[in-house]
Each structure stands twice: as C-alpha cells, then as structure tokens.
Amino acid sequence: MERDYPLEKVRNFGIIAHIDAGKTTTSERVLYYTGMSHKIGEVHDGEATTDWMEQEKERGITITSAAITCFWNPTYAPDDKNKKYRFNIIDTPGHIDFTVEVKRSLRVLDGAVVVFDGVAGVEPQSETNWRYADEANVPRICFINKLDRTGASFEFSYKSILERLNKKAVRMQIPIGEEDKHEGVVDLLKMKAFYFEGAMGEKIVEAEIPAELMADAQKYHNELVERIVEHDDAQMSAYLEGVVPSVDELKATLRKAVILNAIFPVYAGSALHNKGVQLVLDGVVDYLPSPTDIPAARGLDENTGEEVERPADDKAPFSALAFKVAADPFVGKLIFFRVYSGTVEAGSYILNTRTGNKERIGRILRMHANEREDVKKVFAGEIAAAVGLKDTITSDTLCAEDSPVILDRMVFPEPVISLRIEPKTKADQEKMGMALNRLAEEDPTFKIVSDGETGDTVIYGMGELHLEIIVDRLKREFSVDANVGKPMVAYRETILGEATAENKYIKQSGGKGQYGHVRLRIKPMDMNVDPDDVPKNVKRYAHFEFVNSIKGGAIPNEFIPAVEKGIKEGMDRGVTAGFKMVNISAELYDGSYHDVDSSEIAFKLAASFAFQDAAKLARPVILEPMMKVEVFTPEKFMGDVSGNLSSKRGIIEGMEERGLTRVVKAIVPLSEMFGYVTSLRSMTEGRANFSMEFLRYDVVPANVAKEIAESRK
C-alpha cells in the first residue's frame, strides 16, 4: 500500500489559547470550512464537535485534546487538486488544570495556531502555552479573535503579544472596523481587502482597501516587507535599491523565517461571526512546516547508547511516540501516536522500548473528532490512533524490533492537590480500582496513592477542577459512586542541611537471623547538574540521588539495591508531618554484613531507619506549592483585592492596566486559595475574575509548618 498523500502537503498543527479565547469555536469553523462537518456546533450550545466528553459540553470548556484529520484547498486555489493539503489538527484545552494536554500535544506537532481574545490580548495561560511552544521549538502563527466584541482592539492585543510574548510578531492583516463595525480584514502582503459573505462567511470577496485605512495599510505593508527581506540577503539588497520582491518571493522567504521561529505572523478576525478563519488556514498552508521541513527526530540507539536521527522518511526504520492514551467506549484503549520515521501496518508487531516487550497493533484509526476511520497503514509524519496496545502509556517510544530507539521522553509537572476517595458500596470498591487505573493511564498528571496507615485511597491532580472532572468521570463512564473528602494541598518535605546516621538491623530468633548495617550521609540535592557530569557511582532521579561510595566490599553488591529501596521508603514516610520527601542526595559510604544472616530485607530496613534518623538531624522542612495568581478587577476594587491577597501570605509582584481592567499579579500559597472564587466575587460585586497556575515549591514558615504537623497527628 502506497502513501495516499505527499508528505510536503501534510500539516500537523495544534490550536492553543487561554481559556475562553475562542479556540474551540475556531476549530469548529475549521471543520466546517474543510467540509468535515455540515453544520457548525457552538460551544455555548454544548454542540461543539471536538468537545465530545459530557463534562466538556456542560462546562463549555475543552478537557482532552481532540485529534482531527481534514483537508483544505487554499482560498487562492479553491479547485486545484494539486493544492489540496491534509491537516492533522489537535484542539487543546485552555484551562490551567489541563495544561499537560497542551504540553504533550506540542511535543508531537510541527506548528501551532495561537488564538488570542481581541479584548483581553495576552492572558496568563497564553504565556504558559507560548513558553511550552518555545520549549518544543514549534513555529506559530497568531490569530487575534473576537474583534467584533465590545472593547475589542487589534492594536492593544498585538502590542500585548510584542510586550509579553515575542518582539518577532508582525501584522499580516489589520481589521476593517472593530466591535459591532467589524466587517473584514486587510491583507498587508497582497494589499487587498477581504470580506466574508453568505450565511456562514463561506463566500470570500476580494476588494480594494477602504480609503480611510489606506495610509495605515501602506505603513504596515512597508513594515512587513522590511521584516521579511531581512531574512534573505538577495531580497534585502534589491529592496535597498528600490526593487520590491513579488508576493510569491516574499511568501517563500516568510515561510523559511516562520519555520525558523524568526517571525510570528499575526492574523485578525472573529471565528464566531465567520470572519477571517479561512485566511488563517491559508497561513497554515503557506507558512507552517510540513514534516519534511523540521529537523529529524533524535533519540538514543538502544543497542549502542549513541544518539541517532530518525528522519521523516517512509524507508527509514519505524519510530513513533505515544503522546496520549484515551479510554474509548467502543474500542477500549486508544493510543494516539505520531510517526516520526518509517511505516507501520495494522496487525504488525512493534517494540516498546520502555518495557522491552513486543506488542501487536490490532487496528489503526484515523480520527475525525469523535468519529473514526480504519486505515491499513500509516506513514512517516502522520498522526493516528492504535487499538490493541495493552502496556503502552504516554511518552513511550514505539519502534521496529530490529532498530530499537528511545525518543526523548516527555516530562510532566508533579500534581499539587489531593483528595481522599472511598467507594460507597462493595460493588463500587471492585470497580473503583480498575477505573482509577484506567484514568491514570490516560493522564500522566493524575496519581493514585494508597495511604499505608489508614488504607484510604488518595488521588492527586493539578487543581480542584481537575479532580472534580476525575470524580465526575468515575461516576459517568465507570458507574462508580464514591464519597470524596475536601481537597488537600500536596505538601512535600525536604532538608536544608547535611547529616550522617548509621543503623544496625540485627534480629536473632532461633535459626537464621537478620543482619544489615549501613552508614548514610544525606544532603540537599544539587538540581542544576548536567546529566553528562553525573559520576558512574550515582543514580539520579527527578527528586532523589543515590550515591554508592562503598569500597572494598564492605557491603556486597547484591545488597546495594535493597539499601536504595530502603532510603526511598524512608523518604516516602517523611519525618516532619508524614509527607513525601524530595530533592535529597543520599550517600551510602560504609557498613558491614554477615556471611550467613545478611539479607536484602535486613539492609532495606537498616537503610530506611538510618535515613529517617539522618533526616531528623538535617534541618527538615515542609514545602508547599506556590501559585502564580493574576486577578482581573475594576480599578475601584484594586485595594481590596491586593489587601486580601497579602492577608493570604501572598507576595504582590506588580499591578498593570489592561484597557479598563486592572491586573494584580501575586504569588500565593495554594493552601490559601481554596474557595477564592467565592470570596473574590463577593468582594468585587461579581465583577472580578482570576487565573492561577503552579509556579514552584517554597519552604513553609515555621509557625504554619507547626500547624500542619499538628493537624496530621
């Protein structure tokens, strides 16, 4: 079976934005204009195609990233079959609790359309998403949406992009009118006006630029041309001599600059009122990369340990990254994957390099939002979903058995909030364990822990809404009724000093005894070490480092892993208030053993007790999650808002104006932010709102730490 579409005509891109910027509405227009849906579903009606989960329809927000395949002919060549492009689009959530969906989607996409609210401009989650796109080195085009709303300002939003995101953004268009006078857009490259007529804006009318906009259009056209020719020496020389390159030449240079992240084109319009979306799709075709335009994927050869490249080539060995697991009600577990090199057929066996096991891909599906199409084979550069992979989780590399490779793993943030959950009946108990494990497979930021002392199940997530959705899904998708406790902060413990301790675990009970003797030295872990500089005797994890300094066989090698395991168990129990300990370097520097009585269990227990003794001497402290908070409020409430945040142990970082609204920026402990939405509304007559995202862990003040420790007894 041959490839049905040339790779250079494929665009893998995502639509990302702050919550309520109109991202899903934009996606619905894309589906409509590309012919994938025959009517436009609206978010506010609960009818959006890409929001297929019940919770998404009720709340009007996107929770999971939906993968969609569709086709597009640019508006300048609507009937040319040679100019038809395949789009693989991922519509991602904007709510901060589901930010992991954005991060993992960007990891496998080649480009992104970043949507902004034309009234608010750049918002906090826009900054987070932009940062993720920077980390993934993903080229972007910007779409300033909602220019028909009261208070909309293209210039304000454009300036906020320059000031808060990147100075390399440049206007591709300016709007014709704003608020209720928004009629269309001016294309600054072609120097033409475009209007959108028909019931759904499907009829695009090209016209001359209105006289009152001509001066601005000419000024911004010159600015755009200058920004483009800077990236081509020949065009720059010609331009300085008074020769302006043709539109096609400028587009070719602009494409190269966008792919290198040297320019970010900015478009204008209103998705809800069907203005401008088709021209953004033309921008995707013209400027965002195909899989052949981006550097080859890099990974480690599992046999040699050397770095290797996997180019977007059907003849190269197969390699793919699993970026999402979804529980599908019809086919079971779906694994979404991006093919970086080679091809794979339904029914074939692939190697999972994390588990080292072979797995069979039963079926391969191409997704059209919540509908699906069976395909026999997928090729390099494509995104698809597999059925039949039982042991595959997010971030696993799938590859050919005879050419094993490990692609870069994704790193996810630690959850910051927890909830105790217990099944209501015995029947619910059996179902709950299975259901929670299924949900944890889907979502790498959702964790389940059994409390060893009480036997309770504790679930961890990124925020109150995140856990609320999990509990809701338990009930609806898995028919599990559960009682839940109050949300709790996921505190951590660490040490600020160094200490040593030893422990001899000796037990004689007639017959064979137990003997384990360890000496440990612990200190805070240096978080800034280059992985290449880690010595061979050090095992390094995200929040723990184990140093084996045993010389001359004081402890035999077979007992060393048991010592490491014992230290980890000691860290899990904490020493101040029973919270998991993090960021610790533990060195095993001496000990002894007994020829007959020594065992793994004895060394594990000795290490665990020694670690606990040392930790108590090493200035242990409690850490708490600190949140970056932005409150949007009318000016008259600014004093009340900032005073209230200060009373919550918040640090006010600054205040700024955004149109008629004022923004208070602060860093506040998560423990102080429960129920904040209610108190903020009552404080501001319901006129203020806020956004919050995890920033870092900080040491809890001594008086607060004492209260936390007391509450745990």
Which residue is associated with the tokens 């490491």?
564
In the 8-state DSSP scheme, what is residue 208?
A: P
Count Cα atoms within 13 angstroms, Cβ side, for 176.
Answer: 22
The Cα 339–Cα 321 span in angstroms is 7
Find out whether 548 is annotated in a ligand binding site. Answer: no
Among candidates 546, 526, 527, which has minimal Cα distance to 536? 546
In the 8-state DSSP scheme, what is residue 526? -
Q: Is 222 marked as binding a ligand? A: no
What's the DSSP call for residue 413? P
Backbone angles phi, psi at 417, to 5 degrees: -140, 145
- Return d(Cα 210, Cα 304) in angstroms, integer: 65
Side chain identity at residue 519, one-letter code: R
Distance from C-alpha of 438 to C-alpha of 458, rounded to nearest angstrom? 16
| Helix, strand or coil, per DSSP, at residue 57 | helix
**CA torsion through residues 461, 463, 465, 468, sign:** positive
- String of DSSP letters for 633-677: EEGGGHHHHHHHHHHTT-EEEEEEEETTEEEEEEEEEGGG-TTHH
CA 56 – CA 64 distance, rounded (Å)? 9
458 is written with which tokens? Answer: 């504790």
Q: Residue 654 annotated as binding?
A: no
297 is an annotated ligand-binding site residue:
no
Residue 19 labelled as part of a binding site: yes
The response to whether 326 counts as a known ligand-binding position is no
Tokens of 361: 């891909």
214-229 and 233-240 helices cross at what angle (nearest 10)?
130
Residues 274, 200: contact at Cβ < 8 Å?
Answer: yes
Q: Which of 33, 582, 83, 499 is nearest to 269 (CA)?
A: 33
Q: Which two tokens stand for residue 704?
A: 């607060």
23 annotated binding-site participant: yes
Say if CB 103 and CB 444 are below 8 A apart: no
Is 24 annotated as contributing to ligand binding? Answer: yes
Q: Is 643 part of any known ligand binding site?
A: no
Q: Encoding tokens for residue 668?
A: 């506040």
Is 18 assigned to a binding site? yes
Contacts for 61 with CB less than 8 Å, ≥ 6 apart:
19, 51, 93, 94, 95
361 labelled ligand-binding:
no
- Sheet of strand 584-592: strand arrangement: 499-507, 514-524, 584-592, 544-548, 538-540
Cβ count within 10 A of residue 102: 25
Alpha helices in 325-412 (DSSP H): none
339 within 8 A of 384, measured Cβ to Cβ: yes
Residue from 514, 612, 524, 523 nearest 568 by CA: 612
Phi, psi of 206 (to 5 degrees): -95, 135
Is 292 known to sit in a ligand binding site? no
Instruction: Check whether 17 is labelled as a binding-site residue.
Output: yes
Q: Is 148 annotated as a binding residue?
A: yes
Q: 21: annotated binding-site residue?
A: yes
- What does the alpha-carbon distance between residue 306 and residue 327 come to, in Å, rounded to a whole number? 36
> How does strand 538-540 pair with strand 405-407?
unpaired
* Terminal-to-terminal C-alpha distance of the chain: 66
The torsion angles phi and psi of 176, rounded to 5 degrees, stand at -95, 100
Under 8 Å between Cβ of 576 and 622: yes
- Binding site feature residues for GTP: 17-24, 91-95, 145-148
- Binding site feature residues: 17-24, 91-95, 145-148
